[in-house]
Amino acid sequence: MGAQWKAKGKDLAANARGKMFTKLVKEITVAARNGADPASNARLRLVVEQARKVSMPKDTLDRALKKGSGVGDDATQYERVMYEGYAPHQVAVMVECLTDNVKRTAPEMRVLFRKGQLGTSGSVAWDFDHLGMIEAAPATPGADAETAAIEAGAEDLEPGEDAGNTLFLTAPADLDLVSRALPAQGFNVLSMKLGYKPKNPVDPTSLSAEALEEVEAFLAAIDAHDDVQEVYVGLAG
């Protein structure tokens, strides 16, 4: 499951594509606040590239850019909010939301956390490292991930979500710097973001099958909420 939780079979679900588009639209909207030109906005450029890779319609992409840059009648301001707490069986969870109405999202999160425990700000963040996360794929034969990490200034690395990819971990302030340096080391940057990695993850094998199912069901309900962008959970593997 790892630092960023993914539902089993999530990518095969019928609504996965629509949910992916919704998340990307919000990320584009937020990134566009710092300029709607991808050529001069590194964060926006990468999110736009992700959107194009999953074949987001051009009109959807254009509307998201207008929303974020304040152009047109449908200009929207999203706020990034973190909710912290525990899933059943005291598994630490951090939930990242992008919402245009915190007064709506907050009570809905409280309801979703009823089967666990919603904490206050900082209640579980201490047990996670805040890191820059860059997923990249080798662009040239023989590109070595460890050498690339050292030369680009990454703090650590681990296997990416897809086979053959590498997740480069950085200090938050070094995220953009490392992402710009990786292409010269033979790696194409696929995505980058600030995220959370558990310091002391729980081994899933230490939980009973029934307990693990309860944790999975809790996380699935959280992840299904429209305002949720990422779910970080303190489970290993």
**10 band by pLDDT with thresholds 50, 70 and 90:** very low
Query: Which whole number is the average pLDDT over 11-16?
Result: 51
Q: What would the 3-class secondary structure string for 72-114 be?
A: CCCCCCCEEEEEEEEEHHHEEEEEEEEECCHHHHHHHHHHHHH
Contact predicate 62/26, CB 8 Å: no
Q: Could you read off the pLDDT of 45-71 as tens digits, one per residue?
A: 878 888 888 888 889 888 888 888 776
Query: In the chain, how many domains are there?
Result: 1
Distance separating alpha carbons of residues 185 and 148, to the nearest angstrom: 5
**Is 139 within the bounds of a domain?**
no
Task: Judge whether 172 and 132 are in contact, CB under 8 Å.
Answer: yes
- The CA-CA-CA angle for residues 198, 218, 223, to 5°, reads 75
Cα–Cα distance for residue pair 16/20, rounded to 1 Å:
6
Bigger pLDDT: 129 vs 142: 129
pLDDT value of residue 35: 82
- Is 20 within the bounds of a domain? yes
Asked whether residue 19 is assigned to any structural domain, the reply reads: yes
Q: Which domain holds residue 38?
A: 10-69
In a domain, 168, yes or no: no
57, part of any domain: yes
